[in-house]
Structure 1
Amino acid sequence: MMRPQCGIATDGAHSVKNRLTRFRAVDIATGEELFSGSIGNQTINIGEFLGVVEAVKYIIANHYTPRIIYTDSMTAIAWFQAKRTASKKAHPALKRAEIFLKAFAAEIESIEVRHWDNDGWGETPADFGEKS
């Protein structure tokens, strides 16, 4: 399969040193950063998941097409599909994300979340480039 040419790529990052979890999204076709956020000292999985959820909100709010999101996190995909996290952390952003996914379930049906193949395609365009 070829590297995707359009859609939204998301990524999360967690710095143990800075105790900061971040997420962001990039338009694959243009390379433009669509949004970024940080949520304090959480986990990489939480950052990845919130990146996907924020991308879903972006698609709905901006009538973005194609309605496809890529993430290299299988955990984020599983949490998105379940509309709930398996995290033990009780961060308000997680609770809001779960409520949003359930409330907008019908609208979200037409949005695809696909796995970004880092091995075949290289890092996602949204990658923070901080791997050591």
Structure 2
Amino acid sequence: MATDMIALISAGIALLAAGGAWGAVFVNRRNATDTIKTQVNIGARNSRASVVSANRQKWIASIRADVADFIATRQQLLLLAGSGSFQKAGMDALHAEERMLHKHAAMLRARVEMRLNLEKEEDHVSRTPVEVSGS
């Protein structure tokens, strides 16, 4: 009877050890799955951040190009306004060029305004027309 008791205790210990081993397998599998999910999430965030950063740089470059073009157009308008009097035939061409420059300046201003975040107060642009004689 003592031998049967020892065999029974040994079998119980073996079953307990087997159960512990299966538990460790499931815990390790869950940990590996969580680690993989975390790595995928980190990779997705890093990828999104690099795409957003590249798009933001393109956005900034576009605004800079439009602002530079706007300043150049405004300078052309100032030069045109200060060019003095010309013959009647020349004045028609100057007025046509001036209208074209005003139209181009308005389009550039609209492009810049479109790209600004108007939810922020510091991004608001005054709604006055393009001035020719200002500094």
**TM-score, structure 2 normalization:** 0.26
Write 1 or 2 for the structure with the bigger share of helix. 2
- Of structures 1 and 2, the one with the larger relative CO (CA 8 A, separation 6+) is 1
Larger radius of gyration: 2
**TM-score, structure 1 normalization:** 0.26
Write 1 or 2 for the structure with the bigger share of strand. 1
